[in-house]
Amino acid sequence: MTIEDTSNIPKEKMPNHLAVIMDGNGRWAKSKGLPRLEGHRRGAKAVREVVENCRRLGLRYLTLFSFSTENWHRSEKEVSGLMKLFQQYLESDTQNLAKNGIRLRAVGNLEQLPKAVRESLHASMEATSCCEGMDLILALSYGGREEIVQATKRIASRVLAGELSVEEISNSTFSKNLWTEDIPDPDLLVRTSGEMRISNFLLWQLAYSEIVVTEKLWPEFDRATLLECLKVYAGRERRFGLTSEQIAKKVVEA
């Protein structure tokens, strides 16, 4: 990646955490007259490219919505093919992730994954656990509503055990009981394929995230598209409920 790629995006305008809903593999394959699994294979190539580019750009966290709880309802053939692709990715890319200082993490109901995939996932996470350049978080068997329900159960259990009072429950308490407990909320959510919804993804964490939707299907998502999304984000004013005048005053006072 060249310096010119990001010369017009100030470092302070880059997101610390980018989350991506990777949508459109099936439609891409259909448009090419190919099987859906071929679309997923091409999507895996796009994953490699976006991970590499985000690392070079200096982003600290990248979360990819890889497989949702709803995806389990797809055909057995497609689900089986996807699981094999996940395992192949983990086994082929772990060494490269470690070489580039990328720590692999995963959030979701991981116990639902096939045993072979879980074993490869844990091996990859262990092999990259000391990396500090970027965290790559895969949302696998993930659903935002399920995550919130699980967090609620954890908090309720602590209250019943006398470890926590109802009055002590706060936004912070809730965040620390999510699967993403030690991961900062995304600054930017990118969704491909032009769909205008968040599809049960990071429902709590996206409260103040900027959202950019691109018409590109996920297999078409390349460096140029990533930079376009980052430039849109850089042009946004993040107010978090404040007015523009209040934001300007805070900047002056800082």
**What is the C-alpha to C-alpha distance for residues 184 and 180, in angstroms, rounded to an integer?**
8
Residue ranges of the chain with per-residue pLDDT less than 70:
1-7, 242-254
State the pLDDT at residue 81.
95
Would residue 177 show up in a list of annotated catalytic residues for this protein? no
State the pLDDT at residue 2.
42
Residue from 5, 71, 109, 185 carrying the catalytic annotation: 71
Residues 226, 204: contact at Cβ < 8 Å? no
Residue 171 belongs to some domain of the structure: no
Instruction: Supply the CATH number for residue 40's domain.
Output: 3.40.1180.10
State the pLDDT at residue 11.
87
State the pLDDT at residue 5.
54
DSSP at 184: P
Residue 128 belongs to some domain of the structure: yes
- Residue 118 burial class via C-beta count within 10 angstroms: exposed 0-12, middle 13-18, buried 19 and up: middle
State the pLDDT at residue 3.
37
pTM score of the predicted model: 0.93
Residue 168 belongs to some domain of the structure: no
State the pLDDT at residue 9.
86
Q: Which range of residues forms the domain containing residue 60?
A: 14-153+184-253
Residue 235 belongs to some domain of the structure: yes
State the pLDDT at residue 1.
38
Residue 177 belongs to some domain of the structure: no
Would residue 185 show up in a list of annotated catalytic residues for this protein? no
- Give the other-Cβ count within 10 Å of 190's Cβ: 26
Residue 221 belongs to some domain of the structure: yes
Residue 189 belongs to some domain of the structure: yes
Residue 34 belongs to some domain of the structure: yes
Number of domains comprising the chain? 1
State the pLDDT at residue 59.
97
Strands 61-68 and 210-213, bridge-based pairing: unpaired
Residue from 5, 8, 16, 23 carrying the catalytic annotation: 23
